[in-house]
Structure 1
Amino acid sequence: MIPEIEKASSATIKAYQEAELKKLLQYLNTHSSYYKRLFKSENINLNSINTLEDLTRIPTTTKEDLQRYNDDFICVPRHDIIDYVTTSGTLGEPVTFALTDNDLKRLAHNEAISFACAGVKKADVIQLMTTIDRRFMAGLAYFLGARELGAGIIRVGNGIPELQWDSIKKFKPTYIIAVPSFLLKLIEYAEQHHIDLNNSGVKGAICIGESLREQDFSLNILSKKIKDKWDIDLFSTYASTEMNTAFTECEAQQGGHHHPELIIIEILDENNAPVKAGEPGELTISTLGVEGMPLLRFKTGDIVTAHTEACSCGRNTTRLGPVIGRKKQMIKYKGTTLYPPAMHNILNDFNAIDSYVIEISHNNIGTDEILLKIATNNATEEFLQKIKDHFRAKLRVLPKIEFCDKKELQKLQFPKMSRKPVLVIDRRE
């Protein structure tokens, strides 16, 4: 189930996207209060935007723009809105997205071809271990995508290993959708209750919310720990509410494939100029085919590297490597630049760490400080020293570390109305 445009030549894909870009610009100029105002204030002649390279003439859109002018981005009358979703609000106030019936069909198509990219077929059954309620787009997208693909789906929701295993034994899913760290909890429960992991019938996991790979696509510590116990295929997927689109790995597992019929991507530097090939930058997107709330040159805040060499799966599309970090969560610490994912990878190396939160703040001279709050049953000086040594060896810097009560840490990880655990708390101004 590979769309023909994804197998086309780079030149054909580019020409297709340029034609779709012109449709997007006209749609925004007709229906979007925000973009109509932007085009007028910046004196942008839309007839002069003919190529993807011409996009740089248009200012970018930021999360702050969405927060400040949320309703001005909505392009349809209220009676055409079928579903309302909100962003998770990880880095500020949540933003409302309004979806029309056609947007839901587009969302289903996106997820169906993304599932197919990971090898899911009509005969498969998927167990959904994420929420489908609480205005969460991803759970809804997975359900609609499985339905379009014709695969079965078991809507269990997040957490509760006992219920997950009961469902696995009862309904025999072949794929599961989960946050990777939760797979470790499933493994732990299986071992405690003498469940044969590798005789469960599960052959693959589509993983969300946490990285599985290093920048060279080798398995990171988290995924190695999963694979050491449970012999299943692990597929990374990268998506966001703003994109209405997913980048999912194929069987080659060399990055998430771009769907050029659904989204235009740019990788930009600090000056909003395209980076050189192979260099990391901020993913910036323009959505194609969205009716309710399309976006133009929206800066996602995620730092990624694009890969354009041919893929063995037959798709001729750009692939995105693992997210290096969120631009706003970049930390300058004792002369070193780092992002939270680097610390996740180190902390995941310790089985004795039950949970953790990374707090970033400014000290009294305005430079960055890092405090790791860790819950463990082994709160000893010896274990603390092991963690410190590991950080020095891997990152060459040592954050402050303190052991915390597990229940207190859970309050930080799951604030009111949260839909997923909060692992990074940024207290900087």
Structure 2
Amino acid sequence: MIPKIEKASTEEIKSFQEEKLKLLLNYLNKHSAFYKRMFNEHDININNINTLEDLTTIPTTSKDDLQQYNDDFICVPRKEIIDYVTTSGTLGEPVTFALTDNDLKRLAYNEAISFACAGVSEDDTIQLMTTIDRRFMAGLAYFLGARELGAGIIRVGNGIPELQWDSILKFKPTYIIVVPSFLLKLIEYAQQNNIDVNASGIKGAICIGESLRNEDFSLNLLAIKIKNTWDIELYSTYASTEMNTAFTECEQQQGGHHHPELIIIEILNDEDKPVQEGETGELTITSLGVEAMPLLRFKTGDVVRAHTDACLCGRNTVRLSPVLGRKKQMIKYKGTTLYPPAMHNVLNHFNNINSYVIEIYQNDIGTDEILLKISTSQPTDTLLQEIKDHFRAKLRVLPKIEFHDKSVIQKLQFPKLSRKPMMVIDKRK
């Protein structure tokens, strides 16, 4: 199930997107209070925007814009809104997104072709290990995408290894959608209850929320730990509520594929200019085919690298690297620039770390500090020294480290109304 446009030449894809861009600009100029105001304030004549390169003449849109002018982005009458979702609020106040019936159909199409990327077909059954309620777009998208593809879906929700295994053994799903670190908890439960994970019938896991790969697409420590016990295929998928679109790995597992019929992407530097090919930058998106709240040059906050060489799967679309970090979570620590995912990788080296949070704050002189709060069944000086040594070896820096009871970490990871664990708590202003 590869859409024709995704196998087209680079020139054909560009021409196709430029036609879609013109339609979007006219739609926004007619229906979006926010973008009409932007066009007027910056004296932008949309008739002069004819190529993807011309996008650079339009200011970018930020999360702050969405938070401050949320309703001004809505382009349809209230009676046409079928569903409301909210962002997780990881980097600020949650933002509400409205969806029309056509937006839900687009969401289903997006997830169906994303599942197909990972090898899922109508003959498969998917077990959903994330919530479908609490105004969460992802769970709804997975459900709609499975229906669009013709695959079965089992809506178990997040957590509770016992319930997950009960469903796996009873209904025999072939794929699971899961936060990868939870796979370790499933493995642990299986080992304690004499369940053979490799006889479960699970062929693959579509992994959300955490990285599986290093920059060169090799498996990171978390993925290696999983694969050492459970011989299943691990597929990364990257998405956000604002994008209404996912980037999912194919069987080649060399980055998440871009769907050019759904989204225009730019990789921008700190001056909002396109980076040179192969350089990292902030993923900036323009959504195509969205009715209720389309976005134009929206800065996602995620730092990625684009790969433009053709993929052996037959798709000729750009592939995105693993997310290297969130722009706002970049840390300048003792002369070194780093992002939380690098610390996740170091901490995942230790089997006896049960859970943790990374706190970032500023000291009295305004420079960044890092505090790791760790839960372990063995809070010894020996383990503390091993963690310190590993940080020095891998990242050349040593953050402050504290051991805490598991219940303390749980409260920090899951604040009130949280839908997913908060592994990073940024207290900087």
TM-score range normalised by the length of the shorter chain: over 0.9
**TM-aligned CA deviation for residue 355 of structure 1:** 0.3
**TM-aligned CA deviation for residue 79 of structure 1:** 0.3
**TM-aligned CA deviation for residue 297 of structure 1:** 0.1
- 1:377 equivalent to 2:354? Answer no
Which residue is 2:76 aligned to? Answer: 76
Which residue is 1:109 aligned to? Answer: 109
Using the alignment, how far apart are the partners of 1:124 and 1:25 within structure 2? Answer: 39
SS at match of 2:187: helix
Using the alignment, how far apart are the partners of 2:410 and 2:169 within structure 1? Answer: 29
**TM-aligned CA deviation for residue 409 of structure 1:** 1.1
- Structure 1 segment 130-169 matched on structure 2, within 5 A: 130-169=130-169
Using the alignment, how far apart are the partners of 2:272 and 2:278 within structure 1? Answer: 16
* 1:113-152 Cα deviation digits (max 9, x unpaired): 0000000000000000000000000000000000000000
Structure 1: runs of 5 or more not aligned: none
- Structure 1 segment 179-190 matched on structure 2, within 5 A: 179-190=179-190
**TM-aligned CA deviation for residue 428 of structure 1:** 0.5
Using the alignment, how far apart are the partners of 1:306 and 1:398 within structure 2? Answer: 31
Using the alignment, how far apart are the partners of 1:50 and 1:108 within structure 2? Answer: 30
Identity of aligned residues (%): 79
**TM-aligned CA deviation for residue 372 of structure 1:** 0.1
**TM-aligned CA deviation for residue 366 of structure 1:** 0.3
Which residue is 2:234 aligned to? Answer: 234
**TM-aligned CA deviation for residue 405 of structure 1:** 1.1
**Paired AA for residue 401 in structure 2:** I
* 1:256-282 Cα deviation digits (max 9, x unpaired): 000000000000000000000000000
Using the alignment, how far apart are the partners of 2:358 and 2:209 within structure 1? Answer: 16
* 1:183-241 Cα deviation digits (max 9, x unpaired): 00000000000101100000000000000000000000000000000000000000000
* 1:291-343 Cα deviation digits (max 9, x unpaired): 00000000000000000001000000000000000000000000000000000
Using the alignment, how far apart are the partners of 2:130 and 2:426 within structure 1? Answer: 25
Using the alignment, how far apart are the partners of 1:28 and 1:48 within structure 2? Answer: 15
SS at match of 2:238: strand
Using the alignment, how far apart are the partners of 2:146 and 2:423 within structure 1? Answer: 29
Using the alignment, how far apart are the partners of 2:242 and 2:391 within structure 1? Answer: 34
Using the alignment, how far apart are the partners of 1:368 and 1:196 within structure 2? Answer: 46
Using the alignment, how far apart are the partners of 2:115 and 2:97 within structure 1? Answer: 23
**TM-aligned CA deviation for residue 43 of structure 1:** 0.2
SS at match of 2:278: coil
SS at match of 1:82: strand
Using the alignment, how far apart are the partners of 1:95 and 1:416 within structure 2? Answer: 17
**Paired AA for residue 256 in structure 2:** G
- Structure 1 segment 208-227 matched on structure 2, within 5 A: 208-227=208-227
Using the alignment, how far apart are the partners of 2:71 and 2:291 within structure 1? Answer: 14
- 1:95 equivalent to 2:88? Answer no
Using the alignment, how far apart are the partners of 1:311 and 1:411 within structure 2? Answer: 43
**Paired AA for residue 217 in structure 2:** F
* 1:349-373 Cα deviation digits (max 9, x unpaired): 1010000000000000000000000
Structure 2: runs of 5 or more not aligned: none
Using the alignment, how far apart are the partners of 2:38 and 2:264 within structure 1? Answer: 20
Which residue is 2:331 aligned to? Answer: 331
Using the alignment, how far apart are the partners of 1:90 and 1:255 within structure 2? Answer: 24
Which residue is 1:359 aligned to? Answer: 359
TM-score normalised according to structure 2 size: 1.00
Which residue is 1:55 aligned to? Answer: 55
How many residues are matched?
A: 429
- 1:404 equivalent to 2:404? Answer yes
Using the alignment, how far apart are the partners of 2:396 and 2:41 within structure 1? Answer: 48
TM-score normalised according to structure 1 size: 1.00
SS at match of 2:385: helix
Using the alignment, how far apart are the partners of 1:232 and 1:405 within structure 2? Answer: 33
**TM-aligned CA deviation for residue 408 of structure 1:** 1.1
Using the alignment, how far apart are the partners of 1:6 and 1:298 within structure 2? Answer: 23
SS at match of 1:64: helix
- Structure 1 segment 290-309 matched on structure 2, within 5 A: 290-309=290-309
RMSD over aligned Cα, in angstroms? 0.3
Using the alignment, how far apart are the partners of 2:142 and 2:168 within structure 1? Answer: 18
- 1:44 equivalent to 2:44? Answer yes
- Structure 1 segment 164-313 matched on structure 2, within 5 A: 164-313=164-313
- 1:17 equivalent to 2:17? Answer yes
* 1:142-179 Cα deviation digits (max 9, x unpaired): 00000000000000000000000000000000000000
